[in-house]
Amino acid sequence: MVDEGTRKTLSSIPLLQTKAGPRDKELWTTRLKEEYQALIKYVQNNKAADNDWFRLESDKTGTKWFGKCWYVHNLLKYEFDLEFDIPITYPTTAPELALPGLDGKTAKMYRGGKICLTDHFKPLWARNVPRFGIAHAMALGLGPWLAVEIPELIEKGVVTYQEKSEEAK
């Protein structure tokens, strides 16, 4: 159950090939390179489509990721810190993306600001192991989540516009 737009976005993100997790030494490095390639391509696509919406980087081991994502609503840009760990069970299990700044502000979240994904995300991920990577999790998981949740949170006044974030990066 993926809408047309997401499907199109998804289809232009390259698929990964190496099934390796952070405990797999050299193979993990190979996987990590693929992750970065897919992410770079995805960000390039987003920029080309004038829909640039996140930045991510990792520590040297590739197991701790952090960055920012943003969402434009009524011409204002709302920015959020994004972080997640790569679990030892990756890529069999998807990364649990977290927006710690929104922890406790919405019911569509688990502890620590981990976003609550739809019923469809996990089966979709499971069917695509090991081809899906972080870029796919962003496109399929966080992107749609922001699109649904952020306008609502803004409307409720839980999320408010902050002048400063406009000039970050």
Partner 1 sequence: MSTVEELQKRVKELEAQLASVQGNAGPARQKIDVMSSEVVDSNPYSRLMALKRMGIVDNYEKIREMSVAVVGVGGVGSVTAEMLTRCGIGKLILFDYDKVELANMNRLFFQPHQAGLSKVDAAASTLQNINPDVTIDAYNYNITTVENFQKFCDTIRTGSLTGGPVNLVLSCVDNFEARMAINTACNELNQKWFESGVSENAVSGHIQFIAPGQTACFACAPPLVVASKIDEKTLKREGVCAASLPTTMGIVAGFLVQNTLKYLLEFGTVTHYLGYSALTDFFPIMALKPNPQCEDMYCRLRREEHNLRPVVEVATEVTEDSAPVHADNEWGISLVDENTPEDDDCSHLKLVDGVQVAYSVPVDNSTPESSTGGAVAASELSLEELMQQMKSM
Residues that bind partner 1 (CB under 8 A): 2, 7, 10-17, 22-23, 29, 32-34, 36-41, 43-44, 47, 55-58, 61-63, 85-89, 92-93, 96, 107-111, 116, 118-119, 122-124, 126-129, 131-132, 136
Q: Which is nearer to partner 1, 47 or 101 (CB)?
A: 47
Phi (first) and psi of residue 64, to 5 degrees: -115, 120
Tell me the closest approach of the beta carbon of residue 28 to partner 1, in angstroms.
10
Tell me the closest approach of the beta carbon of residue 109 to partner 1, in angstroms.
7
Q: Can 116 be counted among the known catalytic residues?
A: yes
Strand 109-110, strand 114-115: pairing: antiparallel
Q: Which of 27, 72, 116, 148 is catalytic?
A: 116
CA distance 128 to 15: 9
Q: Which is nearer to partner 1, 33 or 166 (CB)?
A: 33
Which amino acid is it at 101? G
Q: Which is nearer to partner 1, 92 or 161 (CB)?
A: 92
Q: Which is nearer to partner 1, 81 or 96 (CB)?
A: 96
Which amino acid is it at 14? P
Tell me the closest approach of the beta carbon of residue 9 to partner 1, in angstroms.
9
Closest residue by Cα to residue 108 from 147, 165, 64:
147
Tell me the closest approach of the beta carbon of residue 166 to partner 1, in angstroms.
18
Residue 140 CA neighbour count, 13 Å, CB half: 26
Question: How is residue 142 written in tokens?
Answer: 């966080």
Sheet holding 64-73, edge to edge: 54-58, 64-73, 76-85
What region, left, alpha or beta, does residue 112 occupy, with left being phi > 0 and alpha being psi -120 to 50 degrees? left
The catalytic residues are 116
